Amino acid sequence: MRLLVAITLLGMTLPAAVAAQNPNFAGRWVAISPGYVGREVRITQARGTLTVAHTLERGTETVTYNLDGTPRREPSGPSEERWSTAAWKNGTLLLTHTRLTRTSESRTEHSLSFDSSRRLILGIAKMHLDASRDPGAPPPPPQRKTVIVLKKR
């Protein structure tokens, strides 16, 4: 009986211990990398989701990700679909935002992690895929890779 209670308690505490190992990226962050200085990113992390909002020339873009890894359909226009997914890998959060139209697919992959000074390291890779390519073929390499360092505001 004691063994059963111990196993049950261990099973209840392991998921919480694993979740505690993943960092919380919530906050207002400002870029300090050359070429991006002053750009702001707002991240909220609550109830199993992470929402990233940043301002672009055309307005504010907001994307929400399910932290359990399940795909999330984002609001979009009638001629496109937008999906987001998230996955943890060794304390780094990997975010994928996919935009599908009848003729193309664009995919942006972000990685979020902290450096030793608790600055946010944002990695960005963008890919554009032609709808006529063989679906079984591996995706092409990213067309643009960027790394931006941000500090908490």
Q: How many CB atoms lie within 10 A of CB 110?
A: 20
Q: How far is CA 72 from CA 31, 37, 63, 99, 136, in A?
A: 27, 31, 10, 12, 23
Question: With 60 as the cut, is the pLDDT of residue 10 above it?
Answer: no
Q: What is the mean pLDDT of the chain?
A: 83
**DSSP-derived secondary structure letter, 23:** P
DSSP type of residue 22: S
- Among 60-64, 76-80, 105-109, 114-118, which stretch is predicted with the lowest mean pLDDT? 76-80
Q: Are the beta carbons of 89 and 18 closer than 8 angstroms? A: no
For 110-134, what is each residue's pLDDT tens digit? Answer: 999 999 999 999 999 988 776 666 6
Task: Average the pLDDT over 140-153 and give the result.
Answer: 82
| Predicted model pTM | 0.76
Domains of the chain: 2-152 (2.40.128.20)
Per-residue pLDDT at 105: 85
Cβ-Cβ contacts under 8 Å for 46 (sequence gap 6 or more): 26
φ and ψ of 125, to 5 deg: -130, 130
- pLDDT tens for each residue of 24-73: 999 999 999 999 999 999 999 998 999 999 887 778 889 999 999 999 99
pLDDT at 75: 80
Provide the residue type at 120 as one letter: L
Q: For residue 3, is pLDDT > 70? A: no
